[in-house]
Amino acid sequence: MSTSNLLIKMQLVSTSGLSLATFPMEEDETKSQLAGGIMTALLAFSKEVHNRELESLSYQDGSVYFLPIHEYYLVLEIESDVDEEKIRNLVEGIRSSAHNLLGEYQNDISLNDADSVLDELHTISMNLARMNEFGHIAGTFILTNPTPFQFRMNQTGETYNVIASSDVIKFASPISQMILNGDLLLINNQNCRIGIIKVEEQNLAAFVIARVHPAHVAVAGLIVSEDSFDSLIALNAKLYPIARALINSNYNIDLETVLQKIIENASATRFSFNPSKSEFISFPTLERNVNEVEKALFCVVLSEKVVVSGERAIVKIVVNTLSLFGLHRTMDMVEWLPELPDSRIDLTGISRDYSDSMKNRGLLDDNITFIDIDKRKIRSPIRSKNKFLKKIFDDAKKLDAKSAAQMIKTILEECRDTAFDLSKFTLRSNKHQVLEALQTVKKETNDDAKYELTQVMATILNPWLFDILNDQSIDSDWI
């Protein structure tokens, strides 16, 4: 797995020539050790014979940079068709991060720790590469001054007493009442609920985890100002699965551990359109190269992982154009990777040769949407299409890239916000009330395809809504 579309490979080498770690990992350890020895020999030769440090070497397809950091050399292999400013920003960003990460080890680092350092630098390099390469990141969904909190609700008869510190009690009381009202989404057992709560009277919002015990309820979460509510909504799709997975994997896990993980993930990439990328936006090119374009759009809108394979120049346009349908949500996009993307990438392109190699070895993940632009085929776990997205697409074709991006973003944010309201209403209502609310939204939307998209978004936010819609006892003609 390559580190990014700029950085091809990283290697950490001791000053004695011992290769400590590589990313991606080398299958041939002998080759890795040989490379480490040759590199340190070159560095020593340059210093002894020419009395200067060797900083980089260039070859046809790329360059190798040697970064002396503490008692180690960090070796970076970078593509050649990248402008100097982007390379400089990437190298200096990695150098600074590596200096901090390696500082605690000095000349004594284990192989496991070396692997961990490169894993961390991999994540950093991906963020740097995205900011340098695409210009899509104009801001992030960041919770401004999120405050972690914990409190306890002790049961006394049929009532609960809130036990909290003086700085927490002011918002703990209204949050506890909302928990008792059923404002949080139940996860796979009857004893734990997770969700977002808005404390209107105090202009606050919170991501809350509540675990019910026989005589008390333990509560933990992050409190933010109401100004960060939109960011909290956008991040819910990221934070909720993390909390749910941790609790489902170990029900006895303490909420402080879960909360720490939530804090670590309380920011995510937020896309915005960069006018300088207009030349790489083409709706006709996307339509010519993707046979079922509305299915591809549906996958991007619904946060499915999408990989596009084919010739790089065309893939770049297809990926950038598809990315406009992710402007309403958090999304990690990299235009091109030499190998299959890891779990952190939502949208990317790969070569046809690599895609065919993976297919022949039976290694293509059935849960990922693959778009083969050479064959104009799409393979996806999503079977349905959405006519409303096709209508947006057709309208966008009539506009310039900047106007199209704004139109798409506005419409999809409206659908997202309605879906969020529906998913929240579902938490505190019975089935009949939910169905009435859905019917009202459908009438107000006055567009069956747009309503269908909003409904699917809502079921992703709140799986219980999906159960209601698929309940055989409910009249299918009702909705």
Alpha-carbon distance of 364 to 369, in angstroms, equals: 10
Q: Do residues 315 and 347 touch, judged by C-beta distance below 8 A?
A: no
User: pLDDT band for position 4 (50/70/90)?
Assistant: very low
Average pLDDT, the chain: 77
* Residues sharing a CB contact under 8 Å with residue 376, sequence separation 6 or more, in sequence order: 289, 290, 291
CB atoms within 10 A of CB 238: 17
User: pLDDT band for position 133 (50/70/90)?
Assistant: very low
Assign 401 to helix, strand or coil. Answer: helix
Alpha-carbon distance of 57 to 66, in angstroms, equals: 9
Question: Which one is predicted more confidently, 198 or 60?
Answer: 198
User: pLDDT band for position 150 (50/70/90)?
Assistant: very high
pLDDT given at position 242? 75
Tell me the CA end-to-end span of the chain in Å, nearest whole number. Answer: 46
Alpha-carbon distance of 200 to 177, in angstroms, equals: 13
User: pLDDT band for position 130 (50/70/90)?
Assistant: very low
Residue range(s) in the chain whose domain bears CATH number 3.30.450.70: 7-134
Q: At what angle do helices 431-445 and 401-427 cross, to 10 degrees?
A: 160
Alpha-carbon distance of 239 to 257, in angstroms, equals: 14
CB atoms within 10 A of CB 122: 20
Question: Comparing 120-129, 130-139, 207-216, 391-400, which segment has the lowest mean pLDDT?
Answer: 130-139
Q: Do residues 64 and 75 touch, judged by C-beta distance below 8 A?
A: yes
> CA of 206: how far to CAs of 144, 328, 393, 416, 445, in Å?
12, 21, 36, 19, 29
pLDDT given at position 50? 61
* Spatial CA neighbour of 112 closest among 192, 230, 20, 43: 20
Helix/strand/coil (H, E, C) string of 129-173?
Answer: HHHHHHCCEEEEEECCCCEEEEEEEEEECCEEEEECCCCCHHHHH
Question: Comparing 26-30, 280-284, 376-380, 383-387, which segment has the lowest mean pLDDT?
Answer: 26-30
Max avg pLDDT among 142-151, 195-204, 223-232, 303-312: 303-312
pLDDT given at position 137? 29
pLDDT given at position 394? 95
Please tell me the number of Cα atoms within 13 Å of 8 on its side-chain side: 12
Per-residue pLDDT of 224-265, as tens digits, reads 887 777 667 666 666 776 787 777 777 677 888 888 877 776
pLDDT given at position 132? 41
Question: Which one is predicted more confidently, 76 or 59?
Answer: 76
> What is the spatial order of strands in the sheet that 62-69 belongs to?
19-23, 7-14, 72-79, 62-69, 56-59
Whether 275 has a pLDDT exceeding 60, the answer reads no
Question: Comparing 16-20, 28-32, 66-70, which segment has the lowest mean pLDDT?
Answer: 28-32
| AA letter at 242 | I
pLDDT given at position 96? 76
Residue 472 structure tokens:
């055989």
Question: Which one is predicted more confidently, 443 or 8?
Answer: 443
Rg of the Cα trace of the chain?
A: 25
Alpha-carbon distance of 311 to 352, in angstroms, equals: 7
pLDDT given at position 47? 67
Beta-bridge partner residues of 204: 199, 225
User: pLDDT band for position 117 (50/70/90)?
Assistant: confident
User: pLDDT band for position 136 (50/70/90)?
Assistant: very low
Task: Please report the sign of the dihedral spanned by the C-alpha atoms of residue 64, residue 69, residue 73, residue 75.
Answer: negative
Residue range(s) in the chain whose domain bears CATH number 3.40.50.11500: 275-385
pLDDT given at position 324? 92
Max avg pLDDT among 95-104, 380-389, 409-418: 409-418
Residue 240 structure tokens:
């909720």
pLDDT given at position 33? 65
Kindly state the helix (H) or strand (E) to which residue 213 belongs, with its residue range: none
Task: Please report the sign of the dihedral spanned by the C-alpha atoms of residue 141, residue 142, residue 147, residue 149.
Answer: positive
Percent of the chain with pLDDT over 90: 15
Report the pLDDT averaged over residues 74-87: 76
pLDDT given at position 3? 39
> CA of 133: how far to CAs of 64, 140, 276, 336, 406, in Å?
19, 16, 12, 11, 21
CATH 2.170.120.12 for domain 7-134, yes or no, is: no
CB atoms within 10 A of CB 292: 15
Alpha-carbon distance of 14 to 36, in angstroms, equals: 8
Question: Which one is predicted more confidently, 425 or 260?
Answer: 260
> Which CATH architecture is the domain 275-385 placed in?
3-Layer(aba) Sandwich (3.40)
Max avg pLDDT among 55-64, 278-287, 417-426: 278-287
